[in-house]
Structure 1
Amino acid sequence: MGRYLCVAILASVFTSGCAFSDDVSEHRSLASFKGESACYDRKTEPYTAVVDTHLHYRPFDGRAIPFNEMNDYLSRTTVRFANVYGIGQMLPSNSSCSNYLKCPGTPVAPTTRNDFVNAANMIEHKPEGLHLTLSMTFTDLSNPEPTVALMEFYDKEYPGLFHWMGEVNLVKQAQFFNRHQAATPKDITKWEGFMAQLRLRNDPITIHSDLGNDDDPTMYLPLMERALALYPDNKIVWAHMGMSHELTTMKATQHIGIMSRLLDAYPNLMIDISWRILDDYYFSKRGNQDLYVAFMNDYSERILPGSDFVAFRGNNFHVYQQELNATSRIHQFLDDNAFRNIALGQNYFDLLKLDYQAPQICP
């Protein structure tokens, strides 16, 4: 059995397959995703994702896990491709707060600080054996006017380095007590400048937009619908399928119905299934799993995996390992086509037009 945590041992409870171990030698190399490679044996190889499209290399307070250490975490798992997010909304540099949830009243404001640190680290410590995509996370969607000028400044300082935007907040209820305000419908009309720039670059944008809360599950849905209607030609990734800690009791059928309707209406929309709240409150809930698996099989070309791990200095490899396992758990139940598109990264490669390809699934 080696050092795999083989789920096959529990075959009476789970499907066969393996979670990852922390032995690098047991996982596929970056080079193996170039051209044809050996088929992927789902019975013996891990079900955890090879791409982490939602990974925060920088935390809210700036005290981060060192860049090289974070890359080592990836190398010890199945992950070979990752988006390097900062966190665009940071606590004040002179604040002693490290968790905004415990500091109501302390502002969490958009800033370029994390992006610049990530860019400098990418240049100085470019990793071997990993493919990293750098993302701009500074944008304030409720005050979008400065965005284009800042994008141009990024291009001047770090030409050709940024190929994604986000995660940026349209509405994030968790930060309401830290002076965050949802963008208004009028604000959304003012995105045209930077959204046009993203279209020219062919770069995606990941938007955090809460659907609602347990009292009103679709309270904020019209905001995302407006963004999609105004910018249908942009590659928009909806983070966490619109879910949050404020919305944990929505019926799966209602949630899937909303996602299906919008995916059908907007061909450039994708969703990410990052953040373990999805598995904790929805995917693994009794009666829900089959519904979500069927949805993912049907829309397998429109879904991206991610951990939503935040590289706080106090976190470590085992926390990342747990988050990756939790957010990948549902992969083991997908059909082969969906598994290849989502867990093995084909959707990500196609979205960014990367010269990589996912292995075929063994018969």
Structure 2
Amino acid sequence: MRRYFLFAVVASLLIGSCASSDNSPERRSLDSFKHSSACYDRHTEPFTPVVDTHLHYRPFDGRAIPFNEVNAFLSRTTVRFANVYGIGQMLPANSRCSNYLKCPGTPVSPTTRNDFVNAANMVEYKPDDLHLTLSMTFTDLSNPEPTVELMNLYEKEYPGLFHWMGEVNLVKQAQFFNHHEPATPKDITKWAGFMAELRARDYPITIHSDLGNKAEPTLYLPLMEQALALYPDNKIVWAHLGLSYEQTNMDVSEHIAILSRLLDQYPNLMLDISWRILDDYYFSKSANRIQYIAFMNQYSERILPGSDFVAFRNNTFKVYQKELEATSHILQYLDDNAFRNIALGENYFKLLKLDYQAPEVCQG
């Protein structure tokens, strides 16, 4: 059995290497996912996904690429479904800083500003050729008390428009120098109200929660474990497999063991593979990639793709294209079942109970 498994992984590497996004036929339309369509030929069609579940339409400073332009970026790729994230933690409106990493001491604070801009744009410019899911990103997980009241305000102002929460920060080390405070164990117990509201609405929540750092690889793992233990019935998506720039050399076997244990223990937990750090520091190394491919094939119903592109005003289509391809690179090596679940959107459709279906992968 082990010999067959290793053969299957190697075969998928060879087959996947033939896939390319450069010489593919015309991209599939949104309507083609509403019914049974022609099978997906992995030899001739792109390995990039049809869904981008982690896409920031708004940046930290509010000076964004216009909404319609971001949608045009998607239409030029394979993406037909996307989550419309803002960024809930913004720089001060009067700040001249555009990158918080270059402005230590400047606060990056939770706010509703980006969400309301996204909602207004959705009402005015909703595209016909894309399916967009609007997400609430305002929540301060270290100060959760106002969340339910604000959720109700969103529903009053934009009824039926929001269907997701996140990306929200449990612990994000990159913002420690910008007044970000990780949620404490006591704070997590106070999430009960808004987590119950999310369950009632059947909204997933995407949480950014660093596993740890180079010195202490699992320093912050107990925080995520507590959140999962207290709210096992919530649809929780753990962003970036828990990794970050502060942790670029974690032991792969340990990382996969942690993820596998939590997926086995919490059936409603999902992971997203957004952010190019995963490819740059982990997936791109062949020895690591084989382990992650096996993991993703085994847990293929629990993983979502995403670019983590941020629509800063100066970012171009080429930037989005590169981010999409980098975060999707590993998908070409997956087995057909995992490719259909992750890249072709089946997991996303089921999670949101959408009336769409992923095409079957062509055989032979």
TM-score bracket for the superposition, by shorter chain length: over 0.9
Q: Distance in 2 between matches of 1:276 and 1:254?
A: 20
Any residues of structure 2 matched to 1:126-137 within 5 Å, and which?
Answer: 126-137=126-137
Q: Structure 1: any 5+ residue segments left out of the alignment?
A: 1-10
Identity percentage of aligned residues: 77
| Rounded Cα–Cα distance in structure 2 between residues aligned with 1:55 and 1:157 | 23
Instruction: State the match for 1:148 in structure 2.
Output: 148
Alpha-carbon offset, residue 26 of structure 1: 1.4
Distance in 1 between residues matched to 2:126 and 2:262, nearest whole Å: 38
Aligned partner of 1:246 in structure 2 is: 246
Residue 52 of structure 1 is matched in structure 2 by: 52
Match of 2:6 in 1: none
Measure how far apart 1:120 and its partner are: 0.1
Q: 1:16 aligns with which of 15, 18, 31?
A: 18
Deviation of 1:128 after TM superposition, in Å, equals 1.4
CA deviation string 1:281-306 (max 9, x = no partner): 01112410110000000000000000
Task: Specify the SS of the correspondent of 2:310.
Answer: coil
Cα distance in structure 2, aligned partners of 1:190 and 1:131: 33
Q: Is 1:120 matched up with 2:97?
A: no
* 1:1-363 to 2 correspondences below 5 Å: 15-19=17-21, 26-363=26-363
Task: Give the letter for the 2:293 counterpart.
Answer: V
Please tell me the residue identity of whatever aligns with 2:159. P
* Secondary structure in 1 matching 2:324: helix
Give the TM-score normalised by the residue count of structure 2: 0.95
Maintained 8 Å contact 2:15/2:333: no
Query: In the TM superposition, what whole-angstrom CA distance separates every residue of 1:245-267 from its partner, at most 9, and x where no partner exists?
Result: 00001011011000000000000
Q: How many Å separate the matches in 1 of 2:263 and 2:269? A: 6
> Which letter does structure 1 place at the counterpart of 2:227?
A
Between the aligned partners of 2:82 and 2:320, the Cα distance in structure 1 is 13
2: CA distance, partners of 1:87 / 1:161: 17
Distance 1:323 1:286 in 2: 20
Secondary structure, counterpart of 1:325 in structure 2: helix
Confirm or deny: 8 A CA contact 1:20 1:78 kept in the other structure: no
* SS of alignment partner, residue 287 of structure 1: helix
State the match for 1:8 in structure 2. Answer: none
Between 1:89-98 and 1:279-288, the stretch displaced more is: 279-288
Deviations 1:167-204, CA, capped at 9 Å, x for gaps: 00000000000000110000000000000000001110
3-state SS of 2:309 partner: coil
CA–CA distance in structure 1, aligned partners of residues 264 and 48 of structure 2: 28
1:225-283 Cα offsets, whole Å, 9 max, x none, are 00000000000000000000000010110110000000000000000000000011011
Give secondary structure in 2 for the equivalent of 1:275.
coil
Taking the aligned partners of 1:43 and 1:14, their CA distance within structure 2 comes to: 8
Cα deviations by residue, 1:4-54 (Å, 9 ceiling, x for unpaired): xxxxxxx98962111257x9x710000000111000000000000100000
SS of structure 2 residue aligned to 1:288: helix
- 2:326 and 2:352 mapped to 1: Cα distance? 25
Cα distance in 2, alignment partners of residues 131 and 12 from structure 1: 33
Structure 2: how far apart are the matches of 1:127 and 1:20? 25
Whether contact under 8 Å (2:212, 2:218) holds in the other structure is yes
CA RMSD in angstroms comes to 1.3
Distance 2:317 2:250 in 1: 32
Equivalence for 1:4:
none
Read off the aligned partner of 2:28 and give its amino acid letter: R
8 Å Cα contact 1:249/1:281 also seen in 2: yes
Count of paired positions: 351
Tell me the distance in 2 between the aligned counterparts of 1:20 and 1:84: 26
For structure 2, the residue ranges without an aligned partner over 5 or more in a row are 1-12
* Structure 2 CA distance for partners of 1:14 and 1:45, relative to 1, 3 Å: closer
Superposed CA offset, 1:291-333 (max 9, x none): 0000000000000000000000010100000000000000110
Contact 1:20 1:77 in 2 (8 A): no
For residues 251 and 352 of structure 1, do their structure 2 counterparts lie closer, same or farther at Cα, with a shift above 3 Å needed?
same
- Counterpart Cα distance in 1 of 2:212 and 2:345: 30
Secondary structure at the residue paired with 1:262? helix
Deviations 1:309-363 (A, max 9, x none): 0000010100000000000000110000000000000000000000000000001
User: What is the TM-score with the length of structure 1 in the denominator?
Assistant: 0.95
SS in 1 for 2:55: strand
